Amino acid sequence: MRIAIQTFGTRGDVQPYLALARGLIARGHDVQLAAPEQFSDLASRLKVPFAPLPGTLLDLLDSDAGKAAVAAGRGFSAGLALLGRIKPAMTRLMDAEWEALRGFRPDLILHHPKSLASPAIAARLRAKTMLASPLPGFTPTSAFASPILPIRLPGFLNKPSHAVMRLAPRMLFGRLLARWRRERLGRNGGPPDTSIGVLYAYSRHVLPVPPDWDRERVHVCGYWFLDEPGSALSPALAGFLAGGAPPVYVGFGSMPGDRPRELTAAIVAGLRQAGLRGILASGGGALEFAGPGDDMLAIDAAPHDRLFPHVAATLHHGGAGTTGASLRAGVPTAIRPFFGDQPFWAERIRALGVGPGALPRQLTPDIVAAAAHALQAPDRRRRAAALGEAIRAERGIEAAILDIEERMRA
């Protein structure tokens, strides 16, 4: 089977699809992954056939305007404010997707929700489609509100919130999409429905499957972890882990920051106040640690599957991938959300009893110390260990592949 995977966004939006692509290739399928050009080296190292997409929108995230918006926690409203710069980049992105898919001629297109052109291209190429997402929010349910909404809602608005968020791309980009379909694909009107189902790449142990979902169409298959057998911790990191009590991992993934030293200083002071060591991952620039100290280690990044089993707890931004990796390792976690679905995962962490609720935007040493103490509570550690065992027993990639093959045979 020829399977195209279309995704866009930061590393958390790309890494699960790389993992799935490797599983599909090992199963004997022909696969092409289309993702931002910034990930071409990673795909090459993993031997995943890759179609580079323009990285302009990621560059926008790293711009001063993008950093300020994300750091202020205004992810949704910031997107609206930056709309004038996003729309031209969207056209170039969809052009690149069309060229990649037209050349590959897939039988099936698996696409991230951000790949707005995939359904129209699939109809033009007479291919099937499956929405594949690392977070819920694209299948209406009364069980919870859309994770993408930046506000809390009363329960009776849960189901309507999903409908509103599903309409949002059409409201924001409807005219652009219609013009693009007409000019590039020679089609007027919306594309016919070529979907054969929906895949969600998170654990049912973290978020139970809602009873009002159609189980024949929607499959919560478990996380798609990218484990690299040859990966290893650096000698400096391995030595630090061996040199004392398990530390707290702190990292905010691809999230940028406008005051990284201030945020880092509060975290370091809070960990020291709690008597804990720390590993600080600079990632997208939200952290910047320049001070010496045997109790703190600054790193650029490290493979989560190798590092997290050796830490006492994690403190991060709440991306779906980092949250899943923390929970799989069986360690308590605290989340300081920036935007998007991150507050949703922070609330799930609290509800599961494996960490406190979302930490505030402005961290102080006292807040960090209190969170660190909360993460050491024996009941939280027991719950985290049990949840980790359940997640490790899942086979998310295998379950997804079997579901894909079964639907394509039907």
Q: Does any domain span residue 185?
A: yes
Shared domain check, 51 and 141: yes
Going 39 to 319 to 112 to 390, the CA torsion angle's sign is positive
Considering the domain architecture, whether residues 91 and 205 belong to the same structural domain is answered as yes
Shared-domain flag, residues 69 and 93? yes
Please indicate, yes or no, whether residues 30 and 85 belong to a single structural domain of this protein: yes
The widest CA-to-CA distance across the chain, in whole angstroms, is 65
Residues 265 and 367 in one domain: yes
359 belongs to a structural domain: yes
C-alpha distance across the termini of the chain, in Å: 14
> Are 321 and 355 in the same domain?
yes
How many other C-beta atoms can be found within 10 angstroms of the C-beta atom of residue 95?
Answer: 16
> In one letter, which amino acid is 295?
D
The pLDDT assigned to 83 comes to 61
Residues 6+ apart with CB under 8 A from 83: 172
Residues 112 and 163 in one domain: yes
Domain assignment present for residue 356? The answer is: yes
Same domain, 81 and 121: yes
Q: Is 29 inside a domain boundary?
A: yes
**Separate counts of helices (H) and strands (E) for the chain:** 16, 12
Distance of CA 168 to the CA centre of its chain: 20
Number of domains in the chain: 2
348/271 same-domain check: yes
HSE (CB half, 13 Å, CA atoms) of 138?
A: 20
Do 106 and 174 reside in the same domain of the chain?
A: yes
User: Does 63 reside within a domain?
Assistant: yes
Residue 291 and residue 303: Cα distance in Å, rounded?
A: 24
**Residue 326 near residue 314 (C-beta atoms within 8 A):** yes
Sequence letter at residue 204: R
Does any domain span residue 229? Answer: no
What is the per-residue pLDDT for 339?
85
**Same domain for 262 and 219:** no
The pLDDT assigned to 68 comes to 60
Are 74 and 8 in the same domain? yes
User: Where in the sequence is the domain holding 348, given as residue range(s)?
Assistant: 235-392
Q: Does 230 reside within a domain?
A: no
Q: What is the pLDDT of residue 71?
A: 54
Give the CATH number of the domain where residue 258 resides.
3.40.50.2000
Q: Which mean pLDDT values do the consecutive 10-residue runs of the chain (410 residues) have?
A: 95 95 98 97 96 84 62 51 71 96 98 94 96 94 89 86 84 89 83 91 98 96 90 92 97 84 95 97 86 87 94 97 97 94 95 96 96 96 98 97 96
pLDDT for 75 equals 45
**The pLDDT value given to residue 291:** 73
d(CA 23, CA 77): 37
What's the CA gap between 35 and 228, in Å, rounded? 19
> Is residue 228 situated within a structural domain?
no
